[in-house]
C-alpha cells in the first residue's frame, strides 16, 4: 500500500510545517499497526512540493519508507536552501537500507548520502544515525564526506547537551577560502592555497582542536599579509566561562615564509614557537595572557593584551633580542628611509612596553654591549650599555647610557656617560655631558628636546668646545690638512622640521686671526643627503702660519677671506662665492717664497711673468709683494676664477702684485677651472708634492 498526499492537497497546505508532517507520519504508522491483514501497509511514500522552516526551504521532496522486515528509507530533495554559509544543495539523496522503527527509537545503522553543492564533492558518503523519541537524543555519524576537496568525518550526539567530533583531511584551502567570507566578513578578500588537516572535539562548553597546514599560501587583497609554502600547526583548548571562550593555544611554525607588512620572516632560517592563554568574548573582543614567542636564540618575548576592533591594551616584555638577527628581521623594515635603515649591529637588547587605547604609555629598554655602525659611515657607537626609561605622562625614571667610543662622519669620539630624563614628548640631560673628540672635548651643558615628532619640535642646546685639533678634524673629513685649534662657546642650536639652525656665529681663533661661521643651516642632518648652507668669514689670518700648515711655501703677511652662500651636499661643496685677499690696511711684512709663487701659478693656471722669467727665479729665495688675492665662484662644478685686479694686458688677472726689486707679478689666465681639478691641485700642494701644472 502506498500513501501519498495529492499534489493539490500539498499545494493547498503549502508551506506544510514540520510538525504537521510528523503528525501525518505517526497516523500512517498507527494505521499500519491496527489495520490487520485487510489493510496491511508495506511501503509509505510522502511527496510534497515544498517544506520550509524559519531559515531553510526544501522543494520537490519525496520520502519512501519500506515497512517490511528488512526496512528501508529513501529521501530525495530536488533543492534544499540552507542559511549561509551552506547555501543551496541540489539533488540530495539519502538512502538507509536498514532503517529500524522500534518502540522508542528510529535508527539508520548504515546509510549513504549524496548531493550537489559548490563545497561538496560528487561522491556518495556513509552516514548513520539514531533518534530516541522520549529523550530526544540524536546520534549522527558521517564518514568520508567529500567537501572542500578533502574528506570529513563527523560523530555528533545531542541530548541535554551536544558533543561533536570532526576530522578533516587534505582540505583544499582555496575551496574553503571561497566559502569562509560567508561565515565571517573579516575573511572577505583573502585567498588561500594548500592542503589543510583538522581535528576538533567540542561541546557547548569545551573544545579541543588541532589544525595543520603544509605548504600554505595565503594573501589578502591589500597585499599587506601573505605567506608562501608555510608549514603551521595550531592546537589548543577552549572552555566556556562567564560569557567567553578561553584556553591555551600552541602554534608551531617550522618552515615557510610569511610577510606581515613590513616584516618578512623565513621560518626555515628562524623557526618560531608561540604559546598563549587566549580568550574570545561574546562582544567580539579578543585577549591573550602569558603569550610567549620564541625564535631560537634570536628572540624571546612575553606579552598580554586585549583587542576589540583595535588594540586596547598591550604589555610586552622582550626578554632577549640578539643582534644583528633581530635588527635585520624586525627593526630594519620599520626604519627604511631613516638614518638607521642600514646598520651593522652586535649585542643584545631587552625591555618592556606598556600600551593602551591611547597609545604607548611606558617603555624600558636595556642595552648590553650594543654596537651600531652605519653602513655609509655617517655614525657609529661602540659597546653601548645602559637603560632607557620613558613614560607618556607622569614622572619617569632617569635613563643612563655609557659607551666606549664611536664616530660621526668619520670624526672619532671617546667614551662618555650620559644621564637623561625622557617623558612625554620631551627629553633633557640631567647633568653635563663631556665627550672627548679630536684631542679636545665637546662639553654639552644643556640639551633639551621638546614636542618630539611634532611640527613645532624644538631643540635647546648650550655647550662649548675645549680646543679641538683642526689637523685631526681636516684629516678625518678628508680635507686638506692644516693645524690650529678650534674652541670656544657654541651658540644656541635650533632644530625644527628637519632643519638645524645656528642661532649666532660660530667663531674660532685660528692662525692668529678669527674665522666665523654665520647663517649656518643644515637640512636633514641625519638623512642620506644632508645639505649645509652658511657664510664664512676669515679676518686677519697670519699667512705665514697658514702656508706652513699647508706646506704651501712661505708667505708672510695677513689675509682676509669671505665664503658667501656656501652650499654643501653630503658635506661636499657644490656652490659658493669665495674671495681671499690681503687686507687693505695690512702694514705687516710682505714676503713670498719661490715655491709659493710656483704653487700660486699652478692654481691660477698661468705663469710668473713681467720683470723676472721662471728661469731667473732660481737666483732668489723670496720676493716682496704688495697684495695677494684669489677668488672663485663655484657653480655647476666649475670655478669662475679671479684675483686682486685685472692684468695690464687685459687678458689675465693678478694673483700676486709685486713690489720693489726684483719685482714679480703672478698672472692667472684660466678664467674657468674644473672644481675637481682644483681640489686635486690644492691637495697636491698641501701634501708637499709641489704644484701640478695643467
Predicted confidence (pLDDT) per residue in 533-569, tens digit: 999 999 999 998 888 777 778 899 999 999 999 999 9
Q: Residue with C-alpha cell 644583528?
A: 324
What's residue 498's pLDDT? Answer: 76
Residue 586 within a domain: yes
User: What does the pLDDT average to over 351-366?
Assistant: 93
What's residue 254's pLDDT? Answer: 95
> What percent of the chain lies above the pLDDT cut of 70?
87
What's residue 351's pLDDT? Answer: 95
Q: Residue with C-alpha cell 616584555?
A: 317
Sign of CA dihedral 426, 431, 436, 441: positive
What's residue 687's pLDDT? Answer: 60
Please compute Rg for the chain using Cα positions. Answer: 44
pTM over 0.75: no
Alpha helices (H) in 390-437, listed in sequence order: none
Residue 348 has pLDDT above 90, yes or no: yes
Residue 250 within a domain: no
Query: Residues 63, 46: contact at Cβ < 8 Å?
Result: yes
> Ranked by mean pLDDT, which of 20-24, 279-283, 313-317 comes out on top?
313-317
DSSP, collapsed to helix, strand or coil, labels residue 666 as strand
What's residue 607's pLDDT? Answer: 42
What's residue 582's pLDDT? Answer: 95
Tell me the sheet residues that pair with 348.
322, 368
What's residue 619's pLDDT? Answer: 59
What is the H or E stretch that residue 590 is in?
none
What's residue 272's pLDDT? Answer: 95
User: What does the pLDDT average to over 634-661?
Assistant: 88
Each residue's pLDDT tens digit, 649-683: 778 888 999 887 777 888 888 888 888 888 877 77
- Across 78-117, b (16+ Cβ under 10 Å) vs e yields ebbeeeeebeebeebebbbeebeeeeeebbbeebbbbbeb
Query: Residues 460, 447: contact at Cβ < 8 Å?
Result: yes
What's residue 179's pLDDT? Answer: 75
User: What does the pLDDT average to over 598-609?
Assistant: 62
Q: Which of 90-94, 206-210, 599-603, 615-619 has the lowest mean pLDDT?
A: 615-619
What's residue 31's pLDDT? Answer: 45
Q: How far apart are CA 191 and CA 153, in angstroms?
A: 25
**How far is CA 607 from its chain centroid?**
60
What's residue 34's pLDDT? Answer: 42
Cα angle value 56/58/59 (rounded, 5°): 145
Q: Report the DSSP pairing between strands 72-81 and 299-307.
A: unpaired
Split at pLDDT 50, 70, 90, the class of 455 is: low
How many domains does the chain contain in total? 1
User: What does the pLDDT average to over 611-620?
Assistant: 52
Residue 243 within a domain: no
> What percent of the chain lies above the pLDDT cut of 90?
45
Sign of CA dihedral 377, 381, 387, 388: negative
Q: Which of 35-39, 360-364, 405-409, 447-451 has the lowest mean pLDDT?
A: 35-39
Q: How far apart are CA 645 and CA 566, in angstroms?
A: 23
User: What does the pLDDT average to over 339-351?
Assistant: 91
Residue 74 within a domain: no
Query: Residues 439, 424: contact at Cβ < 8 Å?
Result: no
Q: Which of 59-63, 527-531, 579-583 has the lowest mean pLDDT?
A: 527-531
Which of 524, 467, 458 is closest to 493 using CA atoms? 458
User: What does the pLDDT average to over 33-60?
Assistant: 74
Q: How far apart are CA 293 and CA 326, in angstroms?
A: 13
What are the two backbone dihedrals, phi and then psi, of residue 27, each rounded to the nearest 5 degrees? -65, -40
What's residue 119's pLDDT? Answer: 87
Residue 682 within a domain: yes
229 conformational bin, left if phi > 0, alpha if psi -120 to 50, beta if neither: left
Q: How far apart are CA 210 and CA 223, in angstroms?
A: 28
Residue bearing the bigger pLDDT, 507 or 343 = 343
What are the two backbone dihedrals, phi and then psi, of residue 393, each rounded to the nearest 5 degrees? -150, 160
Q: Alpha carbon of 45 to those of 74, 278, 325, 494, 607: distances in Å?
A: 9, 52, 72, 93, 123
Q: Alpha carbon of 104 to those of 101, 109, 135: distances in Å?
A: 8, 16, 9
Instruction: Give counts: helices (H), strands (E), the chain.
Output: 8, 48
Residue 663 within a domain: yes
What's residue 466's pLDDT? Answer: 86
> Ranked by mean pLDDT, which of 81-90, 329-338, 417-426, 446-455 comes out on top?
417-426
Which of 567, 564, 566, 545 is closest to 556 using CA atoms? 545
Helix then strand then coil, % of the chain, to nearest 5:
15, 60, 30
Strand segments (E) across 3-149: 43-52, 57-66, 72-81, 88-96, 100-101, 105-116, 125-132, 137-147
Residue 656 within a domain: yes
Q: Which of 84-93, 296-305, 342-351, 680-689 has the lowest mean pLDDT?
A: 680-689
What are the two backbone dihedrals, phi and then psi, of residue 282, each rounded to the nearest 5 degrees? -65, -25
Q: Alpha carbon of 275 to those of 248, 279, 351: distances in Å?
A: 7, 13, 20
Split at pLDDT 50, 70, 90, the class of 17 is: very low
Split at pLDDT 50, 70, 90, the class of 472 is: confident
What are the two backbone dihedrals, phi and then psi, of residue 262, each rounded to the nearest 5 degrees? -105, 20
Q: Alpha carbon of 584 to those of 30, 558, 561, 643: distances in Å?
A: 133, 10, 12, 14
DSSP, collapsed to helix, strand or coil, labels residue 681 as helix
Tell me the sheet residues that pair with 634.
576, 639
Residue 575 has pLDDT above 50, yes or no: yes
Q: Residue with C-alpha cell 633580542?
A: 321
Q: How far apart are CA 499 and CA 493, in angstroms?
A: 10
Query: Residues 141, 127: contact at Cβ < 8 Å?
Result: yes
What's residue 38's pLDDT? Answer: 45
Residue 229 has pLDDT above 80, yes or no: yes
Residue 580 has pLDDT above 90, yes or no: yes
Residue 668 within a domain: yes
Q: Alpha carbon of 680 to those of 181, 411, 602, 633, 673: distances in Å?
A: 69, 22, 11, 17, 12
Split at pLDDT 50, 70, 90, the class of 69 is: low
User: What does the pLDDT average to over 111-136?
Assistant: 90
Q: What is the DSSP letter of 445?
A: E
Domain that holds residue 578: 529-686
Average pLDDT, the chain: 84
Query: Residues 404, 383: contact at Cβ < 8 Å?
Result: yes
Amino acid at each position: 500500500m502506498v500513501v501519498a498526499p495529492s499534489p493539490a492537497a500539498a499545494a493547498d497546505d503549502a508551506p506544510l510545517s514540520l510538525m504537521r508532517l510528523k503528525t501525518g507520519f505517526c497516523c500512517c504508522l498507527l494505521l499500519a499497526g491496527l489495520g490487520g491483514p485487510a489493510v496491511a501497509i508495506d511501503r509509505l511514500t510522502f511527496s510534497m512540493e515544498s517544506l520550509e522552516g524559519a531559515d531553510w526551504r526544501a522543494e520537490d521532496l519525496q520520502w519512501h519508507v519500506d515497512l517490511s522486515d528488512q526496512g528501508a528509507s529513501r529521501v530525495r530533495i530536488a533543492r534544499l536552501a540552507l542559511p549561509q554559509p551552506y547555501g543551496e544543495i541540489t539533488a540530495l539523496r539519502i538512502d538507509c537500507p536498514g532503517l529500524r522503527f522500534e518502540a522508542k527509537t528510529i535508527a539508520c545503522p548504515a546509510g549513504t548520502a549524496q548531493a550537489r553543492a559548490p563545497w561538496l564533492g560528487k561522491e556518495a558518503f556513509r552516514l548513520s544515525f539514531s533518534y530516541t523519541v522520549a529523550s530526544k537524543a540524536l546520534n549522527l555519524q558521517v564518514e568520508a564526506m567529500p567537501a572542500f576537496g578533502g574528506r570529513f568525518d563527523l560523530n555528533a550526539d545531542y541530548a541535554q547537551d551536544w558533543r561533536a567530533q570532526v576530522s578533516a583531511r587534505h582540505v583544499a584551502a582555496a575551496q574553503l577560502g571561497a566559502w569562509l567570507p560567508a561565515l565571517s566578513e573579516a575573511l572577505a578578500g583573502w585567498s588561500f592555497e594548500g592542503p589543510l588537516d583538522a581535528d576538533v572535539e567540542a561541546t557547548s562548553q569545551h573544545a579541543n582542536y588541532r589544525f595543520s597546514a603544509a605548504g600554505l599560501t595565503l594573501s589578502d587583497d591589500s597585499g599587506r599579509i601573505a605567506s608562501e609554502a608555510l608549514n603551521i600547526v595550531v592546537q589548543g583548548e577552549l572552555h566556556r566561562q562567564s560569557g567567553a571562550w578561553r584556553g591555551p593555544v600552541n602554534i608551531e611554525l617550522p618552515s615557510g615564509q610569511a610577510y606581515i607588512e613590513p616584516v618578512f620572516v623565513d621560518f626555515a632560517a628562524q623557526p618560531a614557537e608561540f604559546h598563549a592563554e587566549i580568550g574570545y568574548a561574546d562582544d567580539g573582543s579578543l585577549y591573550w595572557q602569558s603569550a610567549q614567542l620564541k625564535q631560537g636564540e634570536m628572540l624571546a618575548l612575553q606579552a598580554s593584551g586585549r583587542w576589540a576592533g583595535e588594540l586596547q591594551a598591550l604589555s610586552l616584555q622582550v626578554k632577549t633580542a640578539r643582534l644583528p638577527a633581530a635588527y635585520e628581521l624586525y627593526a630594519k623594515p620599520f626604519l627604511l628611509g631613516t638614518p638607521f635603515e642600514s646598520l651593522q649591529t652586535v649585542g643584545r637588547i631587552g625591555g618592556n612596553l606598556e600600551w593602551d587605547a591611547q597609545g604607548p604609555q611606558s617603555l624600558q629598554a636595556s642595552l648590553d654591549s650594543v654596537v651600531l655602525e652605519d653602513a655609509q659611515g655617517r655614525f657609529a657607537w661602540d659597546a653601548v650599555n645602559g637603560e632607557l626609561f620613558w613614560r607618556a605622562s607622569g614622572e619617569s625614571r632617569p635613563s643612563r647610557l655609557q659607551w666606549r667610543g664611536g664616530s660621526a662622519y668619520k670624526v672619532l669620539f671617546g667614551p662618555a656617560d650620559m644621564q637623561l630624563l625622557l617623558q612625554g614628548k620631551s627629553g633633557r640631560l640631567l647633568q653635563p655631558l663631556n665627550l672627548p673628540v679630536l684631542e679636545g672635548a665637546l662639553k654639552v651643558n644643556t640639551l633639551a628636546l621638546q614636542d618630539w615628532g611634532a611640527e613645532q619640535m624644538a631643540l635647546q642646546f648650550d655647550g662649548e668646545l675645549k680646543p679641538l685639533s683642526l689637523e685631526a678634524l681636516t684629516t678625518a673629513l678628508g680635507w686638506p690638512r692644516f693645524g690650529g685649534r678650534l674652541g670656544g662657546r657654541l651658540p644656541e642650536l635650533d632644530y625644527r622640521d628637519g632643519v638645524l639652525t645656528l642661532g649666532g656665529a660660530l667663531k674660532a681663533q685660528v692662525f692668529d686671526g678669527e674665522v666665523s661661521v654665520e647663517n649656518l643651516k643644515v637640512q636633514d642632518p641625519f638623512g642620506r643627503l644632508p645639505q649645509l648652507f652658511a657664510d664664512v668669514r676669515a679676518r686677519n689670518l697670519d699667512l705665514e702660519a697658514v702656508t706652513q700648515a699647508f706646506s704651501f711655501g712661505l708667505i708672510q703677511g695677513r689675509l682676509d677671506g669671505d665664503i658667501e652662500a656656501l652650499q654643501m651636499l653630503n658635506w661636499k661643496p657644490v656652490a659658493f662665492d669665495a674671495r681671499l685677499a690681503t687686507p687693505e690696511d695690512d702694514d705687516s711684512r710682505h714676503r713670498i717664497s719661490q715655491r709659493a709663487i710656483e704653487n700660486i701659478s699652478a692654481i691660477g693656471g698661468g705663469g710668473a711673468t713681467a720683470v723676472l722669467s721662471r728661469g731667473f727665479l732660481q737666483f732668489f729665495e723670496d720676493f716682496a709683494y704688495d697684495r695677494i688675492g684669489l677668488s672663485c665662484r663655484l657653480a655647476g662644478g666649475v670655478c669662475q676664477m679671479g684675483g686682486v685686479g685685472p692684468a695690464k694686458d687685459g687678458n689675465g688677472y693678478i694673483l700676486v702684485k709685486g713690489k720693489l726689486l726684483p719685482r714679480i707679478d703672478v698672472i692667472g689666465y684660466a678664467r674657468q677651472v674644473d672644481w675637481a681639478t682644483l681640489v686635486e691641485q690644492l691637495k697636491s700642494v698641501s701634501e708637499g708634492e709641489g704644484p701640478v701644472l695643467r
